Amino acid sequence: MDTRNKKSGTPVSSFKVSFHLFLLIPVAVLFMFAGCTDESERSVRIGYVGGLTGRVADLGTAGRDGVILAVEEANAAGGIKGRPVELLVEDDRQDAETARTAVQSLLDKGVVTIIGHMTSAMSVATVPIINEAHVVMISPTTSTVELAGKNDYFYRVYPSGRQAGELLAKHAYSTRHVRRMAIIYDLGNQAYTDTMYESFRDAFHALGGTIVHTDTYTSGPDAVFADMVARLSASEAEGVFFIANAMDTGLFCQRLRHSGSGIPLFTGEWSVTEEILQFGARAVDGIEFFHTVNKQGQQSKFLEFRERFKARFGYEPGFASVHGYDSAHIALSALARSEHPGKLKETLSLSGSFEGLQGPIEFNAFGDVIRNHFLMTIRDGSFTAVNDPDP
């Protein structure tokens, strides 16, 4: 039987084979070129997630910029084993559902590690996701005890808030001689503020002090600081520990000082970004807090970083930038040591200590750290170390 095409005289079977081969040639060429791609040209993707909008944007932006600088320096030095590092950034908007979506988006894009979050509440919301994916997250500033002592994929370069709360209670009682304390804190980042409140309260009580007034609110445009100050004044407290973000702390201090109150003010490190100076002005002078970064530090690594950071971003780096840089540097160093990105957790566990900008950083078996705190105050619009004889 003749199987030729009656119009062209070409055998039908030969035509089909030739046509299929023609279609396969481009595919084969693509595979050939893909096979020739140098492994060193493929980027290593890492993620950053933090609050970049809203009332916590100061913290998230500062942390992001620290990470950016670390990545840029790594690429200038040759990347990770010759492969460039690509940074993918997400905004968690200080919202749990947005945070979960942001982290999942980074995982879907193939990041091998994530730097973030910058607040405890967001870290608590997303740790189950990174644990399920077996991808390490290193937080620059999460301090909640809720995530301490767990064998998971969550690491942090920031110590537990319990340590800072206890130190501040001792300082307020023993050095500032406050016996009747008021505590006001934001429920919008409750994983952090609860830790600070409870650790301070318990330590203050153990010393013999009394919490005479407790007030809570949720950060946002509806927060009425005048009402908080009125309730505080009625309590006859001798001092106030205000636990919130920088904007709210500055605005509260303005309202408190405007009322004529001169009682001692204490806060947590969350609030002490440059933004507290903007919103608090002279009203925040004298406020005291324990800091994990000594801005007067003279370590050569810190001083060099400080100059590079100011040249790159045009502003002075604060604790969030320092911890963001340290977190990214640790992740990049561990990736360079690891034989495979999927073994980052094992590499971190076996690496011992890492050199941070102000000293060594060492994780325990659960990815937590213990670090020195520095007693600080704001004096004439500047963050200044306090020489406390008994910190």
pLDDT for 183 beyond 80: yes
Q: What percentage of residues in the chain have a pLDDT greater than 90?
A: 78
Domain 41-159+297-372: CATH class, spelled out? alpha beta
The 3-class secondary structure across the chain, one letter per residue, is CCCECCCCCCEHHHHHHHHHHHHHHHHHHHHHHHHHCCHHHCCEEEEEEECCCHHHHHHHHHHHHHHHHHHHHHHHCCCECCECEEEEEEECCCCHHHHHHHHHHHHHCCCCEEEECCCHHHHHHHHHHHHHHCCEEEECCCCCHHHCCCCCCEEECCCCHHHHHHHHHHHHHHHCCCCEEEEEEEHHHHHHHHHHHHHHHHHHHHHCCEEEEEEEECCCCCCCHHHHHHHHHHCCCCEEEEECCHHHHHHHHHHHHHCCCCCCEEECHHHCCCHHHHHHHHHHCCCEEEECCCCCCCCHHHHHHHHHHHHHHCCCCCHHHHHHHHHHHHHHHHHHHCCCHHHHHHHHHHCCEEEECCEEEECCCCCCCCCCCEEEEEECCEEEECCCCCC
Mean pLDDT score, 8-18: 37
pTM for this entry: 0.82
Same CATH fold, 162-291 and 41-159+297-372? yes
| Domain ranges, ordered by start, for the chain | 41-159+297-372, 162-291
Residues 121-157 pLDDT 10s = 999 999 999 999 999 999 999 999 999 999 999 999 9
Mean pLDDT across the chain: 88
* Top mean-pLDDT range of 41-50, 91-100, 371-380: 91-100
Q: In the CATH scheme, what is the homologous superfamily, with its name and number, of domain 162-291?
A: Response regulator (3.40.50.2300)
Q: What is the pLDDT of residue 370?
A: 79
